[in-house]
Structure 1
Amino acid sequence: MTPPRIDLSRWRAWARDALQDDFVAACIVAVLLIPQSLAYALLAGLPPQAGLYASLLPLVAYAALGSSPAMGVGPVALLSLMISQALAGAPAGVPASAVALVLAIEVGLMLALAAWWRLDALAALLSVPVLQGFETGAALSIALSQLPVLLGASAGGSSLPQVLQSWWQAATPWWPLTALYGLAALTALWLARRHTARWLQRHMRPEPAKLLERLAPLAVLMLAIGVSAFTGAGARGVELVGALPALHWTLAWPTLDLTLWRQLLPSAAPIALVTFVSSLVVAESLARRDGHRIEPRRELAGLAAANLAAGLSAGMPVAGSFTRSIVNLDAGARTRMAGVFTAALMALAIWLLGKPLALLPTAVLAATILVAVASVFDAAPFREAWRYSRSEGALMAVVAALTVVMGVGWALAVGVAGSIALLLQRTARPHVALIGRVPGTEHYRNVGRHEVQLTPGVVALRIDESLLFTNARQLADVVQQHVAGHPGTRRVVLLMSPVNRIDFSGLTALRALHELLHDRGIRLDLSEVKGPVLDGLNEGGWTAWFDGRLFLSHHQAMLDER
């Protein structure tokens, strides 16, 4: 038996075009990921090691099955809050770490089933206004949450009210030396972003110049560590990352207590839903920036694999993080191999660089995040949406505001509900156009837009959308209004070429229209019905009650004299 051949050309192309960028991005993100992982685990009420474990194998698992090249998977604030609520309702005596493992496995299995059942169609509810509003609002929320850290304030929170209330009540509204570190790092990163590339390109070839430009944020972090160590910043009140916990990483199956699994299902279901929706929003937002295509079903599979990996490696439920993802993209990540490198470098950093990383001021990390999210802010999409559609522009602004004020959960819920409401509003009444013949041609156009000729005794109408439960019951009223304006009508001909589907509600409405016209002595004819639509009508037994005629072309229908 001949062994399968490995396509080395693809890997050679990646090594040539993207390996360097992916590795540099991983170096930057790995340093950022360590303190974040610790913080989110503590926020969830778990041992800090759980956050670190959830940032290793899950990244590799997502890279194997996901579709976003820049998605940063790991512990996130929203899931941490939901996990803490699940821990509060867990049975007494069960360790928090055991509950987290069961939750991660259950979330992974639910996402895997959703991918198997192709429930990724739910992604269609995430409209562009929702994505753009979330992206801007998330960037603002991240910036607000990092501002106290930048200035050395003993405040925190992930929404505007939380940050302001915490800051107002903080014993230390700011710490001068910490603020000095943060603002100096912010200035250095901003100057590096604006001027490093131009300066380097004047002194060296483009290739090494590009590499050094990517390494500039990492150089700032290393310089901050050196200055912190030299000046004894920790002893002077500057908050540092601190000593990393000892790791005892093992692969283990979660407890098989079926009672516990059953009790946690009501908590795992919303966590799985939020994981998919929020991660997909992040992936779609990144895709709009870098032009990559996102496959929702693969995202489901990738997130399922990541959570299963977290459950088998002493971690916690994970999702796509906007903070890490935008830093990853901003650092130049080109493929999902950046996530694999991040996991490897993070493990190496915990093992070898624990002491140097402990000396890094958290304000410098905050500056790194602020510079990355600053590139997201753009008012142009809001202006364009407002000019094109006031309702969609308003939805975009509401989602952005809710993300900042209420959090991701509220923003996504209102955004999806608003998208559905706009869809229902626009499809609740089918658009039916009165059409006539363009003189000298066989083309038929809207009488309100073109100079056309009408056929006496025949009302020709074009149905401009599918007939579904959302709009079908209005069909008879719309057609009647057109017929009422043309006394002496003998026939009504519906041009059906724009109709892609007729559901049962649409079939019922079509039959009601047929009977209504038949009672008035008016024949209903159809033209240019698409094959799949006609197949559905035949399966619905429409020939038992339809006594009109079916025409291949609308022009042929208009010439019919019978």
Structure 2
Amino acid sequence: MTPTPPSYRRDSLRDDLLAAAIVAVLLIPQSIAYALLAGLPPQVGLYASVLPLVAYALVGASSLNAVGPAAVLALMTLQAIAPLAGQVDLSAAAVVLAAEVGLLLAAAAVLKLDALAALLSAPVLQGFSVGAAISIALSQLPALLGSPAHGVHLRALVDSWVESSRAGAWLHPTTAAFGVSSLVVLLVARRHLQPLAARWLSTDLAKLVARAAPLVVIAIATGLAWAFAAPSHGVTVVGPLPTLHLPLALPLFDAELWLLLLPSAALLALVTFVSSFAVAERLGLQRGEHVDGRRELAGLAAANLAAGVSGGMPVGGSFSRSALNAEAGARTRWAGAWTALFLALAALLLAAPLAWLPRTVLAATIVVPVLAAAEWKAFGLAWRYTRGEAALMGLVAAITVLHTAQWALGVGVLISIALMLQHAARPHAALIGRVPGTEHYRNVTRYATELTPGVLSLRVDESLLFVNARQLPGVVAKHLDAYPDTRRVVLQMTPVNRIDLSGLEALSTLQTVLRERGIRLDLSEVKGPVLDGLRAAQWSSWFAGRIYLSHHQAVRDEQGMAP
């Protein structure tokens, strides 16, 4: 459990300070890059990396989650606010968006809605991960090559690039030299630097050296841009950063703007929680740390609300920064607060050098990690495991690239729910028989089994709920058509975790149908909570069969009497 400040021990402080210094150095160029990715001034990324980190340290759940601007959230922010260009200041819109995300996450924490994370199923998340990686890489391609083209999705980007090409501005050689060379160095370093460094350094230190490669590339590129006066050769640089002062103020209150951004904010809140919680859980398991979902919601809410009152943008947990935070030895979540302090100091001290940083190099530092983090292998696994979910992954990825992340996630959630309802609406009742020489009963289509004459044994493989309960009598009737001499139907209820009112009515209907055919209905292996519910409904007043402790006992009781 993360200690509170009064119990903040000296060794924890030392380790947190070291981790914070390392993460802060990485966070400065990332913050600027993600702000530019979102179509915002570079200082917005810095603002989003100060107070939000302190707010999360005060409220959040994870000792390792490094909160701040993130690539996917920046892409979603861009797609949410870009249509408002010319109507409202985009920085003001980003602040409103962050505030809305914070308020939605806070409401979810109060209402204990952390289970809503399940709305983003693995296929949707993985498809979105790949689609977002492709979209981000494509959006940075013009910056890498020095083209003025831009667009929030593939079609807009292609149209803009065609228009730029007609004007002869599809490529700027000097800019492309900076961007492409940085990209190549980063790709090579990501693949080979760690094993090379491990020849002389410890494994943990080699990892840190490999993660520091972007900082080295940025430093070299900045030095070269200054030495050769790159802006005079047409290379776009970050430019002078304004004095770092947090513009503390409430977000612009425009009811129409808030309402317009609400759907995007809802999806951003969902993605923020799901992705951040996944990072916190994964790293927490490595430390034996339990991460409370509701408290994580509260921490992320506090971070985004802080961004909303300090001129920032939506923030969340970053896997790359959080992993670096862990490897650097962070002990508590207060490392995030120290990171904010170091970042503010570094931004003040490094403002002049950062002004010479080519934007094309920032684009390279975005493209490499997002392409590496995308879950490409998930498509192969999904295709081998279930073609339907693989198709869902492909659809979500395609919509993310061709349209917007909001549409992709919305469609993905709706299709996931539809697939779940389709599966749940068809209750599976397997015909089971006894495995010879045992008291175990298995599906007759998968095992060599023995059937007891006159007894139809069926294992109900779904909970009986309103979405599927009405199908139960028909499912049993189909099995009876194959075994017309049946005198008893015994339902093995082991997989049934719940029976709602519709399920209760379906059992009553099934018993009536079977009684008219001279067949008795019995149940076996009913779970305690399910049985409690049946008793509370006083079902003994109409249920004429028996309940057996084991299915074998039910089948052996050929006279319908308990032995």
Equivalent position of 2:157 in the other structure: 163
SS in 2 for 1:499: coil
Relative distance call for 1:528 and 1:290 in structure 2 (3 A) is: same
Q: Equivalents in 1 of 2:281, 2:383: separation in Å?
A: 19
Equivalent position of 1:82 in the other structure: 80
1:247 Cα deviation after fit:
4.1
The answer on whether the counterparts of 1:24 and 1:214 sit within 8 Å (CA) in structure 2 is: no
Q: Equivalents in 1 of 2:86, 2:519: separation in Å?
A: 68
Equivalent position of 2:472 in the other structure: 475
Equivalent position of 2:35 in the other structure: 37
Equivalent position of 2:493 in the other structure: 496
1:436 Cα deviation after fit:
2.1
The answer on whether the counterparts of 1:110 and 1:304 sit within 8 Å (CA) in structure 2 is: yes
The answer on whether the counterparts of 2:222 and 2:354 sit within 8 Å (CA) in structure 1 is: yes
1:459 aligns to 2:452 (yes or no): no
1:57 aligns to 2:63 (yes or no): no
The amino acid across from 2:276 in the alignment is A
1:282 Cα deviation after fit:
3.3
Q: Equivalents in 1 of 2:477, 2:457: separation in Å?
A: 12
1:554 aligns to 2:548 (yes or no): no
Q: Which runs of 5+ in 2 are unaligned?
A: none
Q: Equivalents in 1 of 2:55, 2:465: separation in Å?
A: 41
Q: Equivalents in 1 of 2:5, 2:176: separation in Å?
A: 57
Equivalent position of 2:407 in the other structure: 410
Relative distance call for 1:241 and 1:337 in structure 2 (3 A) is: farther
SS in 2 for 1:455: coil
SS in 1 for 2:522: strand
1:352 aligns to 2:346 (yes or no): no
The amino acid across from 1:137 in the alignment is G
The answer on whether the counterparts of 1:25 and 1:332 sit within 8 Å (CA) in structure 2 is: yes
The amino acid across from 1:79 in the alignment is T
Q: Equivalents in 2 of 1:5, 1:57: separation in Å?
A: 18
1:312 aligns to 2:279 (yes or no): no
The amino acid across from 2:27 in the alignment is V
Equivalent position of 2:106 in the other structure: 112
The answer on whether the counterparts of 2:101 and 2:269 sit within 8 Å (CA) in structure 1 is: no
Equivalent position of 2:271 in the other structure: 278
The amino acid across from 2:275 in the alignment is V
Relative distance call for 1:84 and 1:151 in structure 2 (3 A) is: closer
Matched pairs, number: 542
- 1:424-446 alpha-carbon deviations (Å, 9 max, x no partner): 22222111012222333322222
- 1:244-283 alpha-carbon deviations (Å, 9 max, x no partner): 123442544568xxxx576565345424411222224533
The amino acid across from 1:456 in the alignment is P
1:232 Cα deviation after fit:
0.5
Q: Equivalents in 1 of 2:208, 2:380: separation in Å?
A: 36
Relative distance call for 1:467 and 1:71 in structure 2 (3 A) is: farther
The answer on whether the counterparts of 2:129 and 2:375 sit within 8 Å (CA) in structure 1 is: no
Q: Equivalents in 2 of 1:144, 1:337: separation in Å?
A: 36
Match of 2:127 among 123, 133, 149: 133
Instruction: Give TM-score scaled by structure 2 length.
Output: 0.85
- 1:456-484 alpha-carbon deviations (Å, 9 max, x no partner): 22212111121112211110000111122
Q: Equivalents in 1 of 2:46, 2:191: separation in Å?
A: 33
- 1:501-530 alpha-carbon deviations (Å, 9 max, x no partner): 111221121111111112222221111111
- 1:275-296 alpha-carbon deviations (Å, 9 max, x no partner): 2222245336757986858765
Equivalent position of 2:65 in the other structure: 69
Q: Equivalents in 2 of 1:133, 1:207: separation in Å?
A: 32
Equivalent position of 1:227 in the other structure: 224
1:403 Cα deviation after fit:
1.6
- Counting only pairs closer than 5 Å after superposition, residues 376-395 of structure 1 correspond to structure 2 as 376-377=373-374, 379-395=376-392
Relative distance call for 1:541 and 1:252 in structure 2 (3 A) is: same
Q: Equivalents in 1 of 2:13, 2:8: separation in Å?
A: 10
SS in 2 for 1:76: helix
Q: Equivalents in 1 of 2:531, 2:201: separation in Å?
A: 67
The answer on whether the counterparts of 2:48 and 2:315 sit within 8 Å (CA) in structure 1 is: no
The answer on whether the counterparts of 1:62 and 1:73 sit within 8 Å (CA) in structure 2 is: no
The amino acid across from 2:120 in the alignment is L
Q: Equivalents in 2 of 1:100, 1:284: separation in Å?
A: 23
